[in-house]
Amino acid sequence: DAMVIQNPRYQVTQFGKPVTLSCSQTLNHNVMYWYQQKSSQAPKLLFHYYDKDFNNEADTPDNFQSRRPNTSFCFLDIRSPGLGDAAMYLCATTQPDRAHNEQFFGPGTRLTVL
Amino acid sequence: RKEVEQDPGPFNVPEGATVAFNCTYSNSASQSFFWYRQDCRKEPKLLMSVYSSGNEDGRFTAQLNRASQYISLLIRDSKLSDSATYLCVVNKDSNYQLIWGAGTKLIIKP
């Protein structure tokens, strides 16, 4: 089945220790997103790629970086995680030429910062 | 004012009852509207898109009111499995950039 896969599902890191989260998709969608979601809050868009074009949200901290080496893969790098970065990180994809652009989500990576 | 506002709830509803949520949005130029469902500690999943004429999918009915800038979700004959958080989603400038509400938590009680 076509899907969005995230690894790992759970990540524990130490304060200040870099961490990389990965996302892959078999949907062949042009757009990939990274969201941060904390408990009882809306998913917060960090950035998105339209093909290779990178779009950073204005309030995304510099601590967060992303790479998309090809259509299928996208990575989220957190250079120096702080306690406030503990959250669920959701990867999503969409194909923007459709009339209603449903976003398809991976299962998320739950990040714990010690 | 938030771009997308929802009552966070929780709505505690007995099984079999009808429940309705509203969501207001601030961007009058928005064209795409969705309801997503999110179970505890899981990813959001599309429940239904919301069309201008309103649409129904089984026990679920979605309505759009452009004049007042709100969308609604009605759930009839609620089931225990309907317990979840319902996220209202509206497009931003382009049709693939979405703004998410914080969700309305629904608890169906036996």
Per-residue pLDDT of chain B (110 residues; tens, 9 = 90+): 789 999 999 999 999 999 999 999 999 888 889 999 999 989 999 999 998 888 999 999 999 999 999 999 999 999 999 999 999 999 887 778 889 999 999 999 99
Alpha carbon distance A8, A19 (integer Å): 11
> How far is the alpha carbon of A15 from chain B, nearest alpha carbon, in Å?
23
Backbone angles phi, psi at A92, to 5 degrees: -140, 160
Complete DSSP assignment for B26-39: S-TT---EEEEEE-
Name the DSSP letter for residue B80: G
> What are the chain B neighbours of A96 within 8 Å (beta carbons)?
94-96
Query: Can you tell me whether residue B54 is helix, strand or coil?
Result: coil
Backbone angles phi, psi at B81, to 5 degrees: -70, -10
Those residues of chain A that have pLDDT short of 50 are none
The whole-number pLDDT of residue A2 equals 65
**Which one-letter amino acid corresponds to residue A81?**
P
The whole-number pLDDT of residue B54 equals 86
> How far is the alpha carbon of B16 from chain A, nearest alpha carbon, in Å?
26
Contact A108 B43 (CB under 8 A): yes
| Phi-psi region at B41: left, alpha or beta (left = phi > 0; alpha = psi -120 to 50) | left
Alpha carbon distance B4, B39 (integer Å): 20
Query: Can you tell me whether residue A68 is helix, strand or coil?
Result: coil
- The size of chain B, in residues, is 110
The whole-number pLDDT of residue A99 equals 61
The whole-number pLDDT of residue B52 equals 84
Backbone angles phi, psi at A85, to 5 degrees: -90, -5
Residues A59-77: tens digit of each pLDDT? 999 999 999 999 999 999 9
Contact B95 A107 (CB under 8 A): no
The whole-number pLDDT of residue B51 equals 83
Contact B103 A106 (CB under 8 A): no
Backbone angles phi, psi at B87, to 5 degrees: -100, 130
User: Own/partner pairs for B59-63, CB < 8 Å, 24+ apart?
Assistant: B60/B35, B62/B33, B62/B35
Residues B42-59: tens digit of each pLDDT? 999 999 999 888 899 999
